[in-house]
């Protein structure tokens, strides 16, 4: 297509809001590059975090590196959604990528874990916009009926990053230096060329018309109160297990969170449609029900899934990098179901079946995984992961489409970011609760483990002379070793290692039963969601028609 023809096509789409498949694909290249930047970073950093903490002499502070990123990315999500509705999403997406790159550069040169936590917070501000804005821009250019088949491409990006991330993170963490710079620093610096490529794609191809949304005020009080409400909740979710759930710090967080959330609801009611999260959105039963379902899925999904890598590392002796590869069956299930469900939704316009079917498959996977024993083979774990992936692939994109389809075109941004925000909050709380259940179960099984280990040593005292069993000479050190570096279980004598593996498998089984209890509620709830017919016009097209009608 000649340059003049491309300009003419772009001008025509700006008037009508209708984009060709070719134009849509070019926009998707830009969106996927930004999402890849964020998705890859999370899996890379997680794999290398132990090495980073050791080098910066801040093992005890590594939780703050994760918490800082989580807090800023979560809070930024609804803010990006609202600002995108007001000012347009292209500039905000470019800004989000730029902030993320800047944060990556500063992280790459951090000199302490607390500096790294501060710089990861900057990264999080950028990351908060990448996922929600990408989904919103897709809603701008593609009608709801066709959206699912394109969202499958987004999930393919996450699948690819989840495979590449552990490889890249393990590679850089294992290097002393690369190009004269400490190896682990490239975990962050690698984002510079990837981010530059993403920026180039976005600037070149991400051209979508924006109908100006006039507003008399920006909801700054909403921003302030959501920070006051959400930050304490996220802090206690991340740190509560270490502080103690009834400690003074935790109670203070509960009180501040409650005050902030109450104030946020009051402010949003006062701000009406100018609100960061307009309460009018909840007048739609479909939006309300899908949001609740998203929270439950977030709790069950993230809470239960977080236990799987730990099982792979402790029970099967996999390294963090290896456990990433062993999760590939779940990724494959997710990608297959997302593609199939997207095609079916596009052809039939039906989507509720994937809410019901997705939660049903997740329920089945947790029932299956709850029968876990330490004697299971890897392929037996893989069966549960495939079933879970099949459920998630159709469910996650369907929840987003249902939320977007239940609101007016002008509110697509805030609806998408709100749905993402609530799902993230559910996931964060799920991880906190289920990890507490996991390690509380393990602590309860301490006497059981101790008796089995003592009995094995009495039966064969020579076991303690084996250097591979050195950690067992100090019973007090075993618990710390399990939670910090469980690699000793891979080489330790089976007589001593198996009681620990058995106890951990039984503890994880308890987590899967708890996750099942949450997901079964989601399954029942999915039957009560009203399926609203999917619209045949994109968000841009609807807004263009509304703008044209208002001029007559």
Q: Are 346 and 203 found together in one domain?
A: no
Q: Are 296 and 415 found together in one domain?
A: yes
Residue from 414, 416, 153 nearest 294 by CA: 416
Q: Are 386 and 430 found together in one domain?
A: yes
Residue from 201, 208, 204, 205 nearest 37 by CA: 201
Along the chain (552 residues), what's the average pLDDT of each consecutive run of 10 residues? 51 56 80 84 77 76 81 90 84 92 93 91 92 86 80 76 78 81 88 88 77 67 91 86 87 94 93 86 89 90 81 82 81 87 85 92 95 91 93 86 84 86 86 84 84 86 81 72 70 84 90 93 93 77 66 58
Look at residues 190, 216, 242 and tell me which one is the last residue of a structural domain.
216
What DSSP letter does each residue of 334-397 carry, written as one string? HHHHHHHHHHHHHHH---HHHHHHHHHHHHHHHHHHTT--TT--HHHHHHHHHHHHHHHHHHHH
- Rounded Cα distance between 174 and 48, Å, is 9
CATH no. for residue 62?
Answer: 1.20.1250.20
Q: Are 4 and 50 found together in one domain?
A: yes
- Cβ–Cβ under 8 Å, residues 152 and 94: no
Task: For residue 524, give its domain range.
Answer: 281-443+510-552
Residue from 451, 488, 487 nearest 469 by CA: 488
Q: Are 81 and 158 found together in one domain?
A: yes
Q: Are 203 and 236 found together in one domain?
A: no
Q: Are 270 and 196 found together in one domain?
A: no
Q: Are 519 and 461 found together in one domain?
A: no
Q: Are 390 and 531 found together in one domain?
A: yes
CB neighbour class for 111 (10 Å; exposed up to 12, middle 13-18, buried from 19): exposed
- Cβ–Cβ under 8 Å, residues 126 and 97: yes
Q: Are 73 and 115 found together in one domain?
A: yes
Look at residues 216, 238, 257 and tell me which one is the last residue of a structural domain.
216
Q: Are 375 and 346 found together in one domain?
A: yes
* Tens-digit pLDDT profile for residues 24-38: 887 888 888 888 888
pTM of the model: 0.84
Give the up-direction half-sphere exposure of residue 82: CA atoms within 13 A in the CB hemisphere.
24
Look at residues 275, 299, 315 and tell me which one is the last residue of a structural domain.
275
> What's the confidence (pLDDT) of residue 1?
47
- Rounded Cα distance between 226 and 490, Å, is 45
* Tens-digit pLDDT profile for residues 294-327: 999 988 887 777 788 888 888 888 777 777 788 8
Domains held by the chain: number: 4
Q: Are 126 and 184 found together in one domain?
A: yes
**DSSP state for residue 532 in the 8-state scheme:** P
């Amino acid at each position: 297509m000649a340059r003049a023809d491309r300009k003419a096509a772009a001008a025509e789409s700006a008037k009508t809001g209708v984009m060709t498949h070719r134009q849509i694909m070019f926009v998707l290249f830009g969106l996927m590059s930004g999402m890849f930047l964020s998705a890859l970073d999370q899996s890379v950093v997680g794999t290398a975090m132990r090495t980073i903490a050791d080098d910066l002499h801040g093992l005890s502070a590594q939780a703050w590196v994760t918490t800082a990123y989580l807090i800023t990315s979560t809070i930024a999500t609804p803010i990006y959604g609202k600002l995108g509705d007001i000012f347009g999403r292209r500039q905000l997406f470019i800004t989000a990528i730029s902030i993320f790159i800047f944060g990556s550069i500063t992280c790459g040169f951090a000199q302490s874990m607390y500096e790294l936590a501060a710089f990861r917070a900057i990264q999080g501000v950028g990351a908060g916009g990448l996922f929600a804005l990408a989904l919103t821009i897709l809603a701008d250019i593609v009608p709801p009926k066709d959206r699912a088949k394109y969202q499958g491409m987004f999930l393919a990006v996450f699948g690819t990053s989840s495979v590449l991330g552990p490889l890249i993170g393990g590679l850089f963490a294992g290097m002393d230096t690369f190009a004269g710079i400490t190896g682990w620093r490239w975990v962050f610096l690698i984002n510079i060329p990837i981010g530059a490529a993403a920026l180039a794609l976005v600037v070149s191809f991400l051209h979508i018309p924006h109908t100006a949304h006039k507003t008399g005020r920006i909801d700054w009080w909403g921003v302030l109160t959501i920070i006051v409400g959400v930050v304490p909740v996220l802090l206690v979710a991340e740190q509560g297990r270490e502080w103690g759930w009834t400690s003074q710090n935790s109670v203070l967080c509960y009180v501040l969170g409650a005050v902030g959330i109450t104030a946020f609801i009051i402010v949003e009611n006062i701000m009406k449609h100018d609100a960061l999260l307009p309460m009018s959105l909840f007048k739609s039963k479909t939006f309300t029900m899908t949001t609740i379902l998203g929270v439950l899925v977030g709790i069950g999904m993230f809470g239960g899934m977080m236990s799987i890598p730990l099982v792979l590392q402790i029970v099967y002796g996999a390294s963090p990098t290896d456990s990433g590869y062993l999760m590939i069956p779940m990724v494959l299930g997710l990608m297959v179901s997302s593609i199939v469900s997207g095609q079916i939704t596009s052809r039939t316009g039906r989507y509720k079946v994937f809410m019901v079917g997705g939660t049903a498959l997740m329920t089945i996977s947790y029932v299956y995984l709850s029968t876990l024993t330490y004697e299971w083979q890897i392929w037996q774990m893989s069966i549960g992961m495939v079933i879970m992936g099949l459920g998630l692939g159709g469910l996650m994109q369907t929840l987003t489409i249902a939320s977007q389809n239940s609101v007016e075109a002008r509110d697509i941004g805030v609806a998408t970011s709100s749905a993402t925000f609530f799902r993230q909050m559910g996931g964060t709380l799920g991880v906190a609760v289920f990890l507490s259940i996991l390690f509380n179960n393990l602590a309860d099984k301490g006497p059981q483990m101790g008796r089995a280990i003592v009995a094995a040593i009495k039966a064969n005292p020579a076991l303690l002379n084996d250097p591979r069993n050195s950690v067992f000479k100090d019973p007090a050190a075993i618990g710390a070793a399990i939670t910090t570096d469980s690699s000793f279980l891979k080489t330790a004598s089976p007589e001593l290692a198996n009681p620990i593996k058995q106890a951990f498998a039984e503890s994880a089984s308890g987590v899967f039963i708890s996750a099942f209890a949450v997901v079964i509620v989601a399954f029942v709830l999915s039957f009560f969601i009203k399926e609203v017919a999917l619209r045949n016009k994109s968000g841009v097209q609807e807004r263009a028609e509304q703008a044209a009608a208002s001029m007559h």
